Amino acid sequence: MADPSTSPPLTRESVAAARELIKPFVHRTPVISSTSLSALASEVDAGSGPEGKAKPKLRLWFKCENFQKVGAFKARGAFHAIERLKKEPGWLEGGGAQRGVVTHSSGNHAQALSLAARTNGIPAHIVMPSISAPPKIAATKGYGAHVVFSGSTSVEREAVTMKVIEETGARLVPPYDHPDIILGQGTLGLEFQEQVEALIAEEREKAGAGTGAEKKKKKGLDVIIAPCGGGGMLSGVALSCEGTGIRVFGSEPSFQGADDAKRGYESGTRIETVSSLTVADGLRTPLGRIPWSVIYERRLVSGFYSVSEAEIIRALRLAYERLKVVIEPSSAVPLAVALYNEDFRSMVEREAGEDGWDVGIVFSGGNVSLDALGKLFSENSEVAK
């Protein structure tokens, strides 16, 4: 990886520069909305709880990174990291490119780095937990990467990664804990803001809405909720929103302590290890040191909310039934917060009042097998209803 000290500063301006750098390599993914899901989110506890619960007014917008290259937002950070490496003096000429790059990932960053490396003719060595989803392993190999298996914890992954580095001399491109990765991931936040502003303006024009103060009030997003694993994307999105007035919240599974970022944020101490088999497999990693500096130390994230496995599965099913899009369980976590987390919903009701909020939901990826989905829904048929 490029020396972090040579990376651009972690600012909104640097996210904009990253967007220009990776523009030839990534998709500008679509934003969609759903009248039915917005209505459901505005009901009492999304229809699943007793009367007396919060009744916020939520208008939901979905940033579909499941339509990104490799099926996940990770392509943004991987391509930015490679482009930054190419600018490092002597790396291309001195044999660095021939030695390649290495990373550890449960799947989406693995695929993203493999594609970015192949695009540039660079070898890629990918350390993957042996329990990674078979479609993600197959896709990573399909991009030409050399896959090495490890245990499921971050400690086990990192140990195998260091061994690969010793054997090959490959340069480490971490999945989240590096400024270049963070800035690349943050580019989705800039797009999200611009796209929702344009869509709202279009809606108002079609409806013949008023002008002046009324038009100004409904300009764009009030909030973005993003899933948080290592925190690279969440911190990048937070940077993209700095100075805009848009509040950013992290979302996590609560199962087996996978809500490490939430617990760390609330206690003031970053939690460095996580061991969870949550269904949201992309969120099983601990929050990284550099993302922590953006999320907590600079307070660019306003807070965290967590949801249960049952709530994730229920939200996942709703996304399939109402939006007709393929997303993976990790992507359903922020939607589950908007639908079911009473703390979040009460906060919106209290602070947004009758006007409500335009809430952005990041669908982080769609890499999940149909067999796994069928098993997930069949085993949790009552929960998912």
Active site residues: 74, 106
State how far the Cα of 183 lies from the Cα of 146, in Å rounded to an integer.
Answer: 26
State how far the Cα of 362 lies from the Cα of 229, in Å rounded to an integer.
Answer: 13
Supply the angle between the helices 74-86 and 108-119 in degrees, to the nearest 10.
40
Amino acid at position 8, single letter: P
Amino acid at position 81, single letter: A
Q: Which of 3, 15, 4 has its CA nearest to residue 300? A: 15
Supply the angle between the helices 309-318 and 370-379 in degrees, to the nearest 10.
120
Q: Which of 315, 323, 283 has its CA nearest to residue 63? A: 323
Beta bridge partners of 126: 103, 147
Q: Is 128 helix (H, G, I), strand (E, B) or coil?
A: strand
Q: Is 158 helix (H, G, I), strand (E, B) or coil?
A: helix
Please give the full DSSP string across 294-361, using - where no structure is assigned.
IIIIS--S-EEEEE-HHHHHHHHHHIIIII-----HHHHHHHHHHHH-HHHHHHHHHHHGGG-EEEEE
Return the sign of the alpha-carbon dihedral for residues 134, 140, 143, 147. negative
Amino acid at position 111, single letter: Q
State how far the Cα of 259 lies from the Cα of 267, in Å rounded to an integer.
Answer: 12
The answer to whether 127 touches 104, Cβ cutoff 8 Å, is yes
- Cα 52 to its chain centre, rounded Å, is 33
Q: Which of 219, 228, 382 has its CA nearest to residue 310? A: 382
The answer to whether 12 touches 240, Cβ cutoff 8 Å, is yes
Q: Which of 314, 305, 261 has its CA nearest to residue 284? A: 261
State how far the Cα of 100 lies from the Cα of 279, in Å rounded to an integer.
Answer: 32
